[in-house]
Amino acid sequence: MRANILNLLVLLVLSMIVSQLVFPVSAGDSWGQENESLENESVSNESVSNVSVGNENVSNESVGTVIIATVAGDSHTYGKDSIAAAFEEEGFEVINLGSGISAETFATTAKEKEADFVFSSASMSTTMIQQIQIEEQLKAAGIRNKVITGVGGSLVTQTWADQIGADIYAVGPEDAVFKAKSALLNGSIPETHISANESTSCGSCHG
């Protein structure tokens, strides 16, 4: 009886030894693979998170800063607000000062906000002179060479813009955005861009 039990124990031990030789199991390797898998998953998730945050930052990045307002003595805002909305839609940061804004306020705000563009609207012959004053105030503030100026209004023309030294004459919203983007990308102002919704006599675009 004892001999039989002893023989069974010997067979059991031999069986265990053979099993280890044929099917080796390493607890350390198993944990290592699992840990590596978890680490890879963690890195992967972190990378996705970083890409997501990065894309969000890029999408929210401003194309440029635009100061826009109707000049002092003028209360027309429809066209000015339309242009402001067009800039916002294209990713620009827009600071809409409203109407009746002095030339000095245009300049001080542009300097404070480090603006890229200063757009002014004047819809009366008696207020167009304010656009000349804006050019002068920007020079006095020492930032005229750092900003691109744009003018518009029911009576404003390309000839007027050239005479006062403005960089852009904007027929309407699409034209203003088109020229502003071209100025940023190419460093030059293209010819007036007129769409089917805009015309050279678009007085309401700046009213």
Domain containing residue 37: 2-59
Residues 135 and 199 in one domain: yes
Residues 91 and 9 in one domain: no
Residues 148 and 75 in one domain: yes
Residues 91 and 186 in one domain: yes
Residues 83 and 49 in one domain: no
pTM equals 0.65
Predicted local confidence at residue 1, as pLDDT? 54
Q: What is the pLDDT of residues 177-197, one digit of tens each?
A: 999 999 988 876 766 655 545
Residues 112 and 171 in one domain: yes
Number of domain units in the chain: 2
Q: What is the pLDDT of residues 59-99, one digit of tens each?
A: 457 789 999 999 999 999 999 999 999 999 999 999 999 99
Flag whether pLDDT at 159 surpasses 80: yes
* Cβ–Cβ < 8 Å for 176, 152: yes
Residues 43 and 104 in one domain: no
Residues 74 and 131 in one domain: yes
13 pLDDT tier (thresholds 50, 70, 90): very low
What's the angle, vertex CA 188, arms to CA 183 and CA 192, rounded to 5? 85
